Amino acid sequence: MSEILVVVEHSGGAVKKVTLELLTLARTLGEPAAVVLGGPGTASELTDRLGEYGAAKIYAAEHADVTGYLVAPKAAVVAKLVADTSPAAVLLASTQEGKEIAARLAVKLDNGLLTDVVDVAADGTATQVVFAGSTIVKSAVTRGLPLVTLRPNSVTPAPAPTTPQVSTVDVQVGEKDKLTTVVNRVTEQKGSRPELTEASIVVSGGRGVGSADNFKLVEELADLMGGAVGASRAATDSGFYPHQFQVGQTGKTVSPQLYVALGISGAIQHRAGMQTSKTIVAVNKDPEAPIFELADFGVVGDLFSVVPQAAEEIRKRK
Amino acid sequence: MNIVVLVKQVPDSGSERNLNADDKTVDRGSASNVINEMDEYAIEEALRIQEAHGGEVTILTVGPEQATESIRKALSMGPDKAVHVVDPAMHGSCALATSKVLAAAIGRLNPDLVLSGAESTDGRVQAMPHMIAERLGIAALTGARKLTVDGSTLTVERQTDEGYEVLTASTPALVSVWDTINEVRYPSFKGIMAAKKKPVETLSLADLGIAAEEVGAAGASSAVLEAGKRPPRQGGVKVSDEGDGGVKLVEFLASEKFV
């Protein structure tokens, strides 16, 4: 069976959920081979988890240069693997870095690229949701192999345990891939919450939350439900919540099982980032707010009384 | 420091956007077209660097005839001149081919710094900066929320999911920016009047040494096979809070097994 290269995303010694989705998808296309890119010792921490989700092979590309420079060394390693192993497809996560590696691969291999894909059929045809979730497109790479980035939360990860065969990749990074040095990586308020784009539940606050202090209400509800916290652009522009949590056209696109919109009117800018969520609930004091056109369940009311009551009710039921 | 800013004209993300029924390219005819919002922050950043360090700011756009409107709008903010690559053969080009054209045009201008938005609101691919940098063999510092220029050394704070990364590189380099990097100025009346007289050079593919069959639908490396509108979401139950809104909300969430 032909190999499907899956470029692994990991953080703090753990495989990211989107990679488990990629492995699950890869199994429908061929034999998954996970590509681990990182500093020395990275792959050994990830092997068990990758095997649990069906990675028959692991290519361990471990070198200080892989993480010491931005993206280019990773693309160089994957391009060499493609040349050496002739895979049937290359799958990456549709994250900032995944898309950037894919972009460089596309140029290096003179190969078509499909991004923000939500599904790939056995023949390599990809499904994409574009224009803020309003349009569905079926597309295919017509030059080269299917080079695809998958949007997080598109596939339900399913285990298929196997023992991966680990091979070490000889990493050689040329000077032209060392032009941008990563001087420092800073983690900001990670905490125990799941990552926004990967979370099954996202609780977001908007202009109606009113202040940075009041965002504690949003955080409290998110924590009770094990969800991530998001914010509308109105909220991040007003300084209520940090920009990296912005959901919308100019922020993150999320597609969780449940999206809770608190004090968010639902401007098209915001809808662009969340309207493919499976279930949407909203609390807003304006009965005409467009968010209610999307919401499976909406409460017209003051979030400062509805949300604490909901939090209390969840505690009672626990 | 000479700076080229990449500006893309896109359909307004605030209005309805469609694909053309025949060739499934982005419908740019019926939509109201605007400068890609993130690119305005790139223009602003270029002008600030110019104010501090001197040099020239050039707008570079690849796009159909009508993109001239966006070029004039961009110039009204303050850049010195513009280059517009326009060629009917470009219609239906994939990202890979577009990056080839942009790289060729940038190579001709030979700037110290290329600035762009981190992504466009139509494609949202975030691929173009790295595709161009890969072709030109220059440094790419992408996703900047802060950019510092010190001589030929660039330092960027790159926004990531977990926080940020600090990147450095020497010019020539490409930096893509998010809307967190600055506050965009409004064009002044004087700026709008001046923009009408600023030079806009038009280039064809032949001027860049690129053959028609390398771009457009013929040279595309990917194809849209079919496209359809997603059925619009239907609103569900809407209740008014009568003092039990929170409880009702949780009852719904429980019925859907979320709590």
Write down the pLDDT at residue A250.
83
The residue type of A142 is T
CB pairs under 8 A between A and B: 288
Name every chain A residue with its beta carbon within 8 A of the beta carbon of B177: none
CB distance A71–B223 less than 8 Å? no
Name every chain A residue with its beta carbon within 8 A of the beta carbon of B21: none
Residue A66 contacts residue A171 (beta carbons within 8 Å): yes
Residue A196 contacts B where some CB pair is shorter than 8 Å? yes
Residue B18 contacts A where some CB pair is shorter than 8 Å? yes
Residue A262 contacts residue A301 (beta carbons within 8 Å): no
Residue B69 contacts residue B92 (beta carbons within 8 Å): no
Name every chain A residue with its beta carbon within 8 A of the beta carbon of B13: 132, 249, 268-269, 272
Residue B146 contacts A where some CB pair is shorter than 8 Å? no
Q: Model pTM?
A: 0.92
Q: Concatenated DSSP letters for B43-89?
A: HHHHHHHHHHH---EEEEEES-GGGHHHHHHHHHTS-SEEEEE--GG
Interface of A with B in 121-140 (CB under 8 A): 125, 129, 131-140
**Cα of B232 to nearest chain A Cα, Å:** 7
CB distance A142–B223 less than 8 Å? yes
Q: How far apart are CA A263 and CA A177, in angstroms?
A: 46
Interface of A with B in 7-66 (CB under 8 A): 11
Owner of token pair 């790939």? A120
The residue type of B118 is A
Q: At what angle do helices B245-255 and A303-317 cross, to 10 degrees?
A: 50
Write down the pLDDT at residue B28.
78
* For testing contact with chain A, the best of B100, B161, B237, B251 (most A CBs within 10 A): B161
Residue A171 contacts residue A61 (beta carbons within 8 Å): yes
The residue type of B61 is T
Residue pLDDT tens, chain B, 259 long: 999 999 999 988 777 788 888 888 888 776 788 999 999 999 999 999 999 999 999 999 999 999 999 999 999 999 999 999 999 999 999 999 999 999 999 999 999 999 999 988 887 788 999 999 999 999 999 999 999 999 999 999 999 888 899 999 999 999 999 999 999 999 999 999 999 999 999 999 999 999 999 999 999 999 999 998 888 888 899 999 999 999 999 999 999 999 9
- If you average pLDDT over residues A112-135, what whole number do you get? 90
Q: Which of A140, A197, A307 sits opposite B225 (nearest CB)?
A: A140
CB distance A250–B121 less than 8 Å? yes
Does the pLDDT value for residue A265 go beyond 90?
A: yes
Q: How far apart are CA A205 and CA A196, in angstroms?
A: 13
Write down the pLDDT at residue A190.
59
The answer for A110, left when phi > 0, alpha when psi is -120 to 50, beta otherwise, is left
Give the chain B residue nearest A236 (alpha carbons): B180
From A62-76, A273-287, B30-44, B133-147, the region with the lowest mean pLDDT: B30-44
Q: Which of A103, A180, A184 sits opposite B131 (nearest CB)?
A: A103
- Taken in order of first residue, the domains within chain B and their CATH numbers are 2-214 (3.40.50.620)
CB distance A180–B165 less than 8 Å? no
CB distance B131–A257 less than 8 Å? no
**Dihedral pair phi/psi, residue A43, rounded to 5°:** -65, -35
Write down the pLDDT at residue A189.
65
Name every chain A residue with its beta carbon within 8 A of the beta carbon of B250: 310, 313-314, 317
**Cα of B194 to nearest chain A Cα, Å:** 30
**Cα of B36 to nearest chain A Cα, Å:** 11
- What is the H or E stretch that residue B38 is in? helix B37-53
Residue A93 contacts residue A16 (beta carbons within 8 Å): yes
